Amino acid sequence: MGRVIGFELNSQDPKKAAEFYSEVFGWEVAEPHWDYWAVTTGMDVNSGINGGIGKGTYDYPHGTRIQIEVESMDEYIAKAKNNGAVIVRDKMEFDEFYLAYLVDPVGLGFGLIQKK
For the chain, domain boundaries: 7-61, 70-116
The third-level CATH classification (topology) of the domain covering 70-116 is 2,3-Dihydroxybiphenyl 1,2-Dioxygenase; domain 1 (3.10.180)
Please say if the pLDDT value at position 46 is more than 80: no
Q: How far apart are CA 10 and CA 37, in angstroms?
A: 10
pTM of the model: 0.83
Model pLDDT for residues 58-107, shown as the tens digit of each residue:
888 889 999 999 999 999 999 999 999 999 999 999 999 999 999 999 89
Superfamily of domain 7-61: 2,3-Dihydroxybiphenyl 1,2-Dioxygenase, domain 1 (3.10.180.10)
Angle made by CA atoms 81, 115, 60, in degrees to the nearest 5: 50
Give the model's confidence band at 57: pLDDT under 50 very low, under 70 low, under 90 confident, else very high.
confident
Structure confidence at residue 43 (pLDDT): 80
Cα 106 to Cα 26, 48, 56, 83: the distances in Å are: 33, 26, 21, 11
Do residues 81 and 38 make contact, with C-beta atoms less than 8 angstroms apart? no
What percentage of the chain has pLDDT greater than the value 70? 100
Same fold, 7-61 and 70-116: yes
